[in-house]
A and B are shown apart, each in its own frame.
Chain A
Amino acid sequence: MTTREEIEALIDATAAGDRAAFADLYRRTSAKLFGTVLRILKSEAETEESVQEIYVKIWRNADRYRAGGYSPMTWLITIARNHAIDRLRARRFSGGDLDEAEALPDAAPGPEALAMASSDRARIVDCFTRLPPDRAEAVRRAYLEGETYAELAARFEVPLNTMRTWLRRSLMKLKECLSE
């Protein structure tokens, strides 16, 4: 098990150009990042290419880690998630070939499945259960599928402004719950 301090030290060393530290960082974190990106992209080939790009990004931006105030794994996973979402959106917007992606089943569980997934579950998962299921689903889709307001409005068959109002209220409720 790698501690937060160890990951942090490895990011700092990476920022200083230490290739061995970067290799160690990769060894300790790549399975988590790969699994996360695979969950989002649902394509092995795209995940491999993306994770390669993500680690190049991490190498080039490691000196910026300290300024963000993120915990080290959150910083790494957030970069990976954002990169994957960018890719997913580009795929959707360009009407790209979805055959490969659709060949893999949608493994992302809904809010209820998420709630059951772990006994050490995150606060946010508990807080999701306090939202109406469709609202929780909308927030989850924004984070894990990169869906935009327009896409969410179409999915839930409500006007764009209604979607925005819905989601903002849900975020407010989430924050209240998370702050308890």
Chain B
Amino acid sequence: MIDAPDTGDDDDRILAAEYVLGLMPAAERRAFEARLGGDAALRAEVAAWAEDFVRLTDDAPEVAPPAALWRGIEAALDTPVTTAPRRRFGLLGYAIGGLLAATLAWVVMTSGLMSPAAPEFTARIAAEDNSLIFAAAYDADTGTLDLRHQTGGHPPGRSLEFWLISEGAAPVSVIVWPDGSAHEVITLPADLAARVPNAVLAISDEPGGGSPTGQPTGAVVAVGQVEAI
């Protein structure tokens, strides 16, 4: 107990370990990440645990990835990901949360990056005949919506646009799907995030680059109900 002079430090030490392991419930992790922003000692605890735990992977043998993998990464980097909704939502969402700049930096830095997160809601967004399917997972903790393309495409020159539809509200654009992308992660603004649990996600066929009006203009090609895990 030489290195543990008081229980406050002990508690933080344990919390830091739970954070690194990914054992914190959503609300607790949010609170912890908010603290991390302004607490260098706590950040050091987190980094120290990460350094120790990472050694548990020491004995995982190195395995050379297939050559195609690097080409896939390059293709993903060359795919534009900066759709307007993504940018707008990312910044607006945190602004709405009224968080301090320092906290903002830390939360943005750590969300889904330095601690594992379990999705709490999922949706299967599918066409009636299953010719187009996306899988959605929503993590209420980080406010991130994870969208994964599974099958199907769209006519050349057209775009697929995702909409969040909740009762009594107009559809809200979530993302115009970047051509060829397999996976996108979108951070939703707080007001929209609150509506995810009972919402429907829908995909409409839109002119290239997305709906010119801010509302769906083309056919709805796939829908899915958001369900709690």
Contact = CB atoms under 8 A, between A and B. Distances in A.
A78 B56 contact: no
Interface stretch (A5-13, A63-71, A98-106): A63-71
A143 B61 contact: no
Given A26-B73, A90-B137, A179-B3, A142 B52 contact: no
Give the contact-size bracket for chain B. Answer: 35 or more
Contacts of B115: 82
Interface in A19-57: 19, 23, 26, 30-32, 34-36, 38-39, 48-49, 51-53, 55-57
Contact of B21 (A31, A71, A143, A179): A143
B117 interface: yes
Nearest to A117: B59
B13 interface: yes
B69 A118 contact: no
B59 A109 contact: yes
Interface residues of A, number: 66
Given A64-B113, A82-B113, A86-B117, 13 more contacts: A48-B69, A68-B43, A69-B43, A69-B47, A78-B20, A90-B119, A114-B56, A117-B59, A124-B56, A146-B22, A175-B4, A175-B13, A176-B1
Interface of A: 19, 23, 26, 30-32, 34-36, 38-39, 48-49, 51-53, 55-57, 59, 61, 64, 67-71, 73-74, 77-79, 81-82, 85-86, 89-90, 93-94, 109, 114, 117-118, 121-125, 139-140, 142-144, 146, 148-149, 167-168, 171-172, 174-176, 178-179
